[in-house]
Every structure is written in structure tokens, then in C-alpha cells.
Amino acid sequence: MLKEYRKAKRDKIWCIRPSSNYNKGKPDMRKRRNNVASVDVTQCSEWLDLLPENSGVHACHGTLSCVEPIQLIELAIGLESSKRPFIWVIRQGYKSDELNKLWRLWVRKWMEEKEKREMEHGVLAIEDNGASYINGHLIPMVDIARLLAERGVIVTVITTPKNAARFSSSINGAIKSGLAIRVEQLGFPAAEVGLPEGCETIDNLPSMELMSRFFAALSLLQQPVERMLAELKPRPSCIIYDRNFTWIVTLASKYHIPKFWFDGKNCFSLLCYHNIITSRVHKCVSQGETFPVPGLPDRIELTPAQVPGFLPTMKEHAEKAMEAEGGADGVIINSFQELETEYCESLGKVKKQNVWCIGPVSLSNKNDFDKARRGNEASITDEDGCLKWLDSWPPSSVIYVCFGSLNRLIPTQLIELGLSLEASRRPFIWVIRGGYKKEEMEKWLKEDGFEDRIKGRGLLIRGWAPQVLILSHPSIGGFLTHCGWNSTLEGICAGVPMITWPLFSEQFMNQKLLIQILKVGVSIGVEVAVQMGEEENFGAMVKKGDIMKAMESLMDGGDEGEDRRKRAKKLAKMARVAVEAGGSSYLNITLLIEYIMQQATSPN
């Protein structure tokens, strides 16, 4: 091009480099180049430093531009809708009066977001194993980070190496999309307490007898987290933490940072548990005798054997966790108000705290890629093949079976389940957890010929499954679940009725919610919780006949089954509306951020 230009001009031409490079390495010269900047340059640089690399957009039309205000409005709306961080240079002079109207109506909002960013490193520091030690807490907390980042909040996720690897695909995708999320890793002190290397979550423990050592390791994270908090610039405006990390309350109070606990449960089960423990009503009846849970809007009956218990090594820790709840500014709930309105209100009253229902947080994963990568790398190498297999079946015809990451069902019980799925003659996906007694289960699968017999009709997934992706497929007609809250809510979001097979923790309470209040579940008949580490003492509690009866009731239940399916679809629609702009959960996130900013700007 230069050669042709010389020919046309018939003259000498000298290219003398980009002249702006003369100021390279001279910050003061670069600040003053051409004119005095209309912005605090240091403040602008600090704001840019907080953003991920290559994530921001710079919009500038030069000094001679005469872009009409109506075009600038279009540009403003485009920048806002992009949800990407940006710097927009608006020339003064040309039609300034009209531009000032634009400034008042729209740019004021942008400036408020800018000021918010300058005040906070993340309205949030999420402690994930460094404050969340099970997948049931870790996964929704990562979703919460994403939801807050989508609202202009800068988020720091504190975690350990193994856990960072688990959700790296999800977080990296969010960062690449322009969301201001960063991950800080702390070494997990496994060796210091005598744990095998890599045991950074409960589901990785080879034995429940190591639980006390695991909790000892978690307590050793206090000082590293404190050092990290002290070094973060600007300091966090709040901390969202797993309630089991009781020392977070003291730490946050030391630095005058608002703190919110998260427990991965819904308002219904938290209220049930609070009222049972404070009234001690379960101590007045025998293990198999029912009692009404006091102080609830509905009559709910449980037995002492269904109330969440603790391993002896966890009892003291659990009591400290309950005590520490009172020191928090509020609780974050992965639920939505329309699902359990009265229970949300009642929980706030008994806890004397703000209750922020901001879910279902799994709906932050909107496309198939995000759904497939949520939580962990799936154990199936061909996700497209799984979807094509589902495509081959009629709507609402496939049963999905999964018991969560912490289930320790013994092989004899799993075999009973497998034979029931085979006898049902219905298509199914069965997620078999890897790890616990894996060899014994694999031996049966091979020697019995189970896989050959169900080939084509059944799909086995060994390990981690892309659950949200599978449940959202229209061919899924029923979900056999352990009633962990994440799985339960994901089933609700998918509009799928459920077979309830609770194992432990608050799962029997979730079963009551599904069957008695929401009326979208069928019980498989389990009456007693199985204490983790004591599975062998219980044997196969659910027999083939009961399993098949529950499956038939759910999948082909006549008018009652059809009503159940309609209610499930209605709940799914309510869940989607809750997280959309103007919905209850969307509004609660707005109110949560406003509350945090008020606390950050008020005198300590």
C-alpha cells in the first residue's frame, strides 16, 4: 500500500513509527498527552486492573465526531445489554443539551455501577471448601458467584486446588464471557492431619472414620483465609460462606465485613429442623413413632429416625455451627419465594435474620454447554451421544435415576434397584456412583450380564453425570432421587415428577415437601435414615416390588399421575419466572446487593 501511495504522490514518504510510542514507559507523559484528561486517571487504571484480561471494551469516536444523540442512545443500550465492562468516551459540545438528558436518564445508572465496582473487590468473597466441603454446597455457590457477577459485582472465589479443578470449566467460561470472577486457591492441609493426599471433599474420603480429621483440616484454613482477606485490595464488601465454617463469623467481624451463611437447604427443611431442635419434640416419642413438627403452616409429621443426626465426631461442630448462625447478617437460600412463601417468612422470624431466596441458581446455566459442565467433568465422554439416545425416546418416557455424590448405597441394594429397572421394561438412565464398593458392583454388572440385557433401553453412567442437561430433555418423564435439595430443585426446574428415596440429612423433610405440599412426588417407602458409615447395618431396605410399584405409579398413574405431571410443569414455569428480570429471585439479588452496599458505606 505504501509503495502505491509513493507512486501516486510522486514524492518521498517517511514512516516514523506510531508517535504515541514515544511515551512508552513514561506514565506521567501518557496521562498528559494531548490534553488534560476528564477523568481521574489513577482511579480509571485501578478500575481496569480489577477486570479480567481482554474483557473490557473501549468506545471512542474521536474529537471531530458528530454522532447524533439518537445513535448514541443505541450505542448506550448496546453496551448495557452486552453485560461486558466498558469505558465509553462521550464528546462534549455537539448537541450537549440532548446528551445531558441521556446522561441523566441512563448514564447515571452506569456511574452508579462504576462507583459500586470501585468500592468493592467483590461485593462477595465466596469461601468454597475453604468453605464448602461437599458438592451439594460447592456447586450452587459457584452458581451464586456467576449470578452476582452478571449484576456487575466483582466476585472472588476462595477454594482449594482439587475443588478449583472441579468447576474450572464453568468458571473459566464465565470469565471468558466477561464476568468479573477470579479464583484464589489455598493449599488443603491434608497431610498435616493425616488424610490421604487429594481428600478435599467428603465424597473423596475413603472412610467416614476420617471425618474428624477432615474437620480438623478445615479449621487449619482459618489463618490462610485471614491472610488472604487482609491482602485483597480493595477489601471485600461481604462474605458468603458455608455455615459449617464457624470461624468465618469471627473473621468477618474482625474486618467489619457483612457475612451471609449458606447451607444448601431450603426454607422448609431449615424451619422444620430449627423448630424440632429448639422444642426437642422428637425426644418425647420412640424412634418409629411419628410426631407433628411444631410451628409450621402445614401439619407435617416425622419420626425421630428421620430427623437429621450427626456422627459422634461431628456433634460438637454442628452445635457450634448453629450457634454461629446468629452472628451473620442473613442467610442465602437456593429457592424461590413462590415455592415456599410461608416458610420463607417463618424462617426469617425464628432466625431473626434476613432471608434472601435467590434461586433456582442452576438456571444461571442457560445453554447446553454450561449445563453439561456444571459441577464437574461428566463421566460420559460422548454427551452428544447421550442426548441423541434421549432424542430416540418419546416425551416423558425415560426414568432418570441418581442418588447424589454422597450416597453410599450397598451393592445388594443397588442390585435390587437394577433388577427393578430391568423388569420395568421402561427406558432409563442410571447414574452409578464410582468409588464406594465400586469393584463389587462392577463384578455383578459383568458376571450377571445386566448391561447386555438392558442394552439399548438402559444407559449407565459411572461417576458424574450432566444432571441439569439430562433432566431438561423432554424425553425424561420421572426422576428417582435421594431428595438432596440441589437434585430436588433441579427436578422442579425441569418440570419432572419425582420418586423419593431419602437417605439421610434433611432429605426426609424434602420428601414431605415434594409429596405433601407440592404434590409432585411418589414415595418409594423408606422410613429410616441411614447414618453415613453404617450402611452395612441396614442391608437392602427397599425391595424390588416396592421399587416397581413406585415407578408405575409415577410413570403411569392415571388421572392422579397426570395431575402430578401438570403441577410439576407449573412449578417449572414459576421457577423460570422467578429468576427473570422482575421476578422474585431477581429482585432479591438486587435487594441483597443494595443491602451490602448500604453496609459498606455506613460507618462501622
Three-state DSSP at 301 gives strand
Exposure string over 378-392, b if 16+ CB within 10 A, otherwise e = bebeebeebbebbee
Tracing cell 454388572 back to the chain, one arrives at 445
Most confident region among 142-146, 282-286, 297-301 by mean pLDDT: 297-301
Q: How far apart are CA 176 and CA 163, in angstroms?
A: 20
Give me the residue label for grid cell 491434608: 190
The string of pLDDT tens digits covering residues 249-266 is: 888 888 888 999 998 999
Q: Which of 130-134, 212-216, 305-309, 341-345 has the highest mean predicted lDDT (pLDDT)?
A: 341-345
Q: Which three cell numbers stand for residue 247?
A: 470461624
Tell me, what's the pLDDT at 127? 41
pLDDT of amino acid 378: 58
pLDDT band at 314 (very low <50, low <70, confident <90, very high): low
Closest CA to 302 of 311, 314, 310, 294: 294
Sequence-ordered list of residues with C-beta below 8 angstroms from that of 106, at least 6 positions apart, any chain? 73, 76, 80
Burial of 567: CB neighbours in 10 Å, binned 0-12, 13-18, 19+: middle
Q: Pick from 101, 103, 66, 98: which is nearest to 88 by CA?
A: 103
Quick one: CA dihedral 34, 39, 40, 42, positive or negative? negative
pLDDT in tens, 9-18: 777 877 777 7
The pLDDT value given to residue 111: 47
Query: For residue 159, is pLDDT > 50?
Result: yes
Q: Quote the percentage of the chain above a pLDDT of 70.
A: 83
CB 432 within 8 A of CB 461: yes
> Residues 141-157: pLDDT tens digits?
999 999 999 998 889 99
* pLDDT given for residue 329 in this prediction: 92
* The C-alpha cell that represents 322 in the structure block: 448453629
Confidence of residue 26 (pLDDT cuts 50, 70, 90): low
CA dihedral 182, 184, 190, 193 (to 10 degrees): -130
Instruction: Please tell me whether residue 357 adopts helix, strand or coil conformation.
Output: strand
Whether the per-residue pLDDT at 95 is higher than 80: the answer is no
Give the list of residues 6+ apart from residue 558 with CB closer than 8 angstroms, or none. none
Confidence band (pLDDT; 50, 70, 90) for 394?
very high
pLDDT of residue 513: 98
Q: Name the grid cell of 574.
A: 414459576
| Angstrom distances, CA of residue 444 to CA of 407, 413, 418, 425, 535 | 19, 12, 10, 20, 19
**Strand (E) positions, 171-323?**
181-185, 239-242, 259-262, 291-292, 301-302
**To the nearest 5 percent, what fractions of the chain are helix, strand and coil?**
50, 10, 40
Mean pLDDT of 356-372: 87
Which tens digit of pLDDT belongs to each residue from 485-530? 999 999 999 999 999 999 988 999 999 999 999 999 999 999 988 8
3-state secondary structure of 588: helix
HSE at residue 314, side-chain half, CA atoms within 13 A, is 20
Relative to beta strand 301-302, strand 291-292 is antiparallel
Domain limits, CATH 3.40.50.2000, in the chain = 379-579
Supply the mean pLDDT for the chain.
Answer: 84
pLDDT at 247: 86
* More confident site: 309 or 311: 309
Q: Are residues 322 and 249 in contact, defined by beta-carbon separation less than 8 angstroms?
A: no
Query: And the C-alpha cell for 139?
Result: 456447586
**202: closest CA among 214, 187, 189?**
214
pLDDT at 120: 45
Contact 329, 259 (CB under 8 A): yes
What is the structure's pLDDT at 400?
98
pLDDT reading at 440 higher than 90: no
The CATH code that applies to domain 379-579 is: 3.40.50.2000
Looking at residue 511, its pLDDT comes to 98
The vertex-136 CA angle with 313 and 542, nearest 5°, equals 80
Model confidence over 32-87: pLDDT tens digits?
A: 555 667 667 777 886 787 677 788 899 988 877 777 777 877 888 788 777 678 89
Which of the 8 DSSP states describes residue 252? Answer: H
CA distance 355 to 348: 6
Query: How much is the pLDDT for 344?
Result: 96
Q: What is the pLDDT of residue 109?
A: 53
Give pLDDT, residue 103. Answer: 54
Which pLDDT belongs to residue 345?
95
Neighbours of 446 (CB within 10 A): 11
Give the pLDDT mean for 360-370.
Answer: 86
Check residue 317 and give its pLDDT.
67
- Pick left, alpha or beta for residue 425 (phi over 0 → left; psi -120 to 50 → alpha; otherwise beta): left
What span, in angstroms and rounded, lies between the C-alpha atoms of 496 and 328? Answer: 35
Q: What angle, 0 to 180 degrees and rounded to 10, lies between the N-to-C axes of helices 247-254 and 222-231? A: 30
Asked if pLDDT for residue 25 goes beyond 90, the answer is no
For 156, which DSSP code? E
Helix spans in 352-449 (H):
368-373, 383-391, 411-424, 438-448
* Whole-angstrom distance, CA of residue 20 vs CA of residue 7: 28
> Taking 60 as the threshold, does the pLDDT of residue 112 lie above it?
no
Q: Which residues contact 510 (CB under 8 A, 6 or more apart)?
A: 266, 268, 269, 483, 484, 485, 488, 500, 502
Least confident of 276-290, 478-492, 572-586: 276-290
> 9: which 3 cell numbers?
504522490
Instruction: Give first-to-last CA distance, the chain, whole Å.
Output: 64
- For residue 88, how far is the Cα from the chain centroid? 33
pTM: 0.78
